[in-house]
Amino acid sequence: MKMVFLGPPGAGKGTIAALAKDYYGIPHISTGDLFRSNIKNETALGLQVKSILASGGLVPDSVTIEMVRNRIAEPDCEKGFILDGFPRTIPQADALAEMTGLDAVVDFQISTEAVVARLSGRRMCPSTGRIYHILFNPPKVEGKDDETGEDLIQRDDDKEEAIKHRLEVYTAQTEPLIKYYTDKGLIKGVDASVAPDKVFENLKKALA
């Protein structure tokens, strides 16, 4: 199964992908996670994109496309993959179409008010990428990862100004992909406003 998860930041794509990758037995490829791990490891790519991520803007298409091209050429992607956060622009979608076919594009549907509430309360374990929410999915011990005990962090781009910018970028650059993939007959809409286990049920039904 080759899938793209589409939807605004904060729609829960990463949370649901973590469940779906085990269920479908395919890797979860998050371009945001790939960039963050390059930033953490201070690679040349990481240094190049660090300030872009902090501001909530988009990394140039050429850089992002090459990173994804290399990743989906790896053997674990032969049976399929979940692309989370890619494509985010029409040129990225065109480039992806040249690399591979797709079975489904899942549109995570949720209001702007709900994503702002989710993003501003989101916390993350810096080493594993595990995601929490201070109200909706709190860790067992406040501020600590359930498994590693590490201090949880708030992503720079989950702070108020960056959230606003990311949502504007989504509307201008990524939302047009809903029509793009609708025209190709690939879109499956999923109500993403409910709790993660319900969203996952909605996803399974939409893909059945």
Is the distance from CB of 103 to CB of 80 less than 8 angstroms? yes
Site stretch for ligand AMP (CB under 6 A), options 57-65, 95-103, 132-140, 181-189: 57-65
Catalytic residue among 88, 118, 123, 130: 88
- Number of Cβ within 10 Å of residue 94's Cβ equals 13
Of positions 19, 48, 50, 52, contacts ligand AMP by CB under 6 A: 52
The CA-based angle 44-45-50, given to 5 degrees, is 105
Of positions 92, 122, 124, 133, contacts ligand AMP by CB under 6 A: 92
Residue of minimal Cβ distance to ligand AMP? 32
123 is catalytic: no
- Number of Cβ within 10 Å of residue 131's Cβ equals 18
Shortest distance in whole angstroms from residue 138 CB to ligand AMP: 21
Cα–Cα distance for residue pair 180/115, rounded to 1 Å: 23
Q: What share of the chain is helix, strand, coil (3-state, %, to 5)?
A: 50, 15, 35
Site for ligand AMP in 162-181 (CB under 6 A): 166
Catalytic residue among 2, 36, 118, 122: 122
69 is catalytic: no
Query: Using the rule CB under 6 A, is 17 a contact of ligand AMP?
Result: no
Site stretch for ligand AMP (CB under 6 A), options 30-38, 116-124, 125-133, 136-144: 30-38
Cα–Cα distance for residue pair 61/59, rounded to 1 Å: 6
- Number of Cβ within 10 Å of residue 143's Cβ equals 13
Query: Using the rule CB under 6 A, is 86 a contact of ligand AMP?
Result: yes
Of positions 17, 26, 53, 110, contacts ligand AMP by CB under 6 A: 53
* Sheet bearing 187-191, strands edge to edge: 28-30, 81-84, 2-6, 104-109, 187-191
Query: Tokens 């949502």 correspond to what residue?
Result: 167
Site stretch for ligand AMP (CB under 6 A), options 55-63, 101-109, 140-148, 175-183: 55-63
- Number of Cβ within 10 Å of residue 112's Cβ equals 12
Shortest distance in whole angstroms from residue 208 CB to ligand AMP: 26
**Site residues (CB under 6 A) for ligand AMP?**
9, 30-32, 35, 52-53, 56-59, 64, 85-88, 92, 157, 166
Catalytic residues: 13, 88, 122, 155, 166
